Amino acid sequence: MIVPFGARLAAAMDASGPLCVGIDPHQSLLEAWGLPDDASGVRSFALRVLEAVGGRVAAVKPQAAFFERHGSAGVAVLEEVVAAGRDTGTLVIVDAKRGDIGSTMGAYADAFLRDGSPLAGDALTISPYLGFGSLDPAIDLALSSGRGLFVLCLTSNKEGHEVQHARTDDGVTVAARVAARAGALNEGVEPLGSIGLVVGATIGDAARRTGVDLAAVNGPLLAPGVGAQGGGARELAQVFGAARRQVLASSSRGVLAAGPDVASLRAAARRASDEAAAALS
Ligand SMILES: O=C(O)c1cc(=O)[nH]c(=O)n1[C@@H]1O[C@H](COP(=O)(O)O)[C@@H](O)[C@H]1O
């Protein structure tokens, strides 16, 4: 029986706390860890993070760009990391932020969401800014394979408002429309739907200002921006309010800066997870 991603994530957050550790092998971090800026360095880095946090946090999120910048050898490492992450029992969210017209989106869906594909983790980040309907092939495949999606809604970067806060002909903001479409797909699903949103921990009161009803999404809310971008306990509580139980706080550099020592990385992840749990309880 296929257990949907939303149910698997809810169980993982209950068991391990509401933290996702981003695996972002920045050039500067590789250097700080004494690793070469090539695919072998990225491999050592990512496997070290998995050794530290695999099976101990709800999810990990390898950021595809940092693997892709090393070409096919880097992509092969991403495939290895997706498999190794899943082997630890921790959910793997592949952060590739894909988005394209529907027919091409079908090919991305095959790559990142189809059983047997080496790049398919448990969930994928995707962009709805070619129109929410363009995501249909990914939504169909995610739901039929027990995987999840995190659709960019209110992102943590300062430029996101240009598109996300814009109002459509009927006066509804783009972000509110994205959230409503995700909510419709998750309607009535217990304990949590599988079509999540990305809502940055740094957005302040933007959900209220844009008319986004986060609780009504009834799906997971991936909250990057924790740690290095300034999101902390106060920000998480402020941004998410009544939707707190849906939040998966995500930190990359905030945890990774504690490396390369495994015990230090593990302790940093524990602290971040405990802080997020306290802020979201
Ligand atoms: O989808 C994401 O994960 C994401 C969305 C967003 O709005 N903001 C954001 O920072 N991210 C990702 O989250 C990670 C943040 O890294 P740190 O700032 O080091 O914690 C990066 O991999 C970003 O690409």
Is the alpha carbon torsion for 252, 258, 260, 265 positive or negative? Answer: negative
Q: For residue range 115-150, list pLDDT tens digits in order.
A: 999 999 999 999 999 999 999 999 999 999 999 999
Catalytic residue among 26, 86, 97, 245, which? 97
For Cα atoms 149, 151, 152, give the angle at the middle one, nearest 5 degrees.
Answer: 150
Q: Which residues contact 211 (CB under 8 A, 6 or more apart)?
A: 172, 173, 176
DSSP 8-class letter at 3? P
Pocket of ligand 1 (CB under 6 A): 22, 24, 63, 95, 97, 125, 155-157, 198, 200, 224-225, 227-229, 250-254
Q: How many CA atoms lie less than 13 Å away from 65 in the CB half-sphere?
A: 8
Q: For residue range 5-17, list pLDDT tens digits in order.
A: 999 999 999 999 9
97 included as an active-site residue: yes
Q: For residue range 47-98, list pLDDT tens digits in order.
A: 999 999 999 999 999 999 999 999 999 999 999 999 999 999 999 999 999 9
For residues 49 and 265, the answer to whether their CB atoms sit within 8 Å is yes
In terms of Cα–Cα distance, which of 20, 24, 33, 26 is closest to 259? 33
Alpha-carbon distance values, 254 to 22, 24, 26, 55 (Å): 9, 11, 13, 19
Chain-wide mean pLDDT for the chain? 97
Residues belonging to the chain: 281
What is the Å distance from ligand 1's center to 225 Cα? 6
What is the Å distance from ligand 1's center to 271 Cα? 19
Nearest CA to ligand 1 atom 9: 224
CA 11 – CA 174 distance, rounded (Å): 31
The predicted model scores a pTM of: 0.98
pLDDT at res. 279: 95
What is the Å distance from ligand 1's center to 170 Cα? 31
Asked casually if ipTM beats, i.e. exceeds, 0.85, the reply is yes
Nearest CA to ligand 1 atom 2: 224
- Which CATH fold topology does 5-280 show? TIM Barrel (3.20.20)
Does residue 1 surpass a pLDDT of 90? no
Residue type, 245: R
Q: Among 60, 252, 255, which residue has the most ligand 1 atoms within 8 Å of its CB, making it the best to mutate?
A: 252
Mean pLDDT of 202-222: 97
- 231: which strand partners? 226
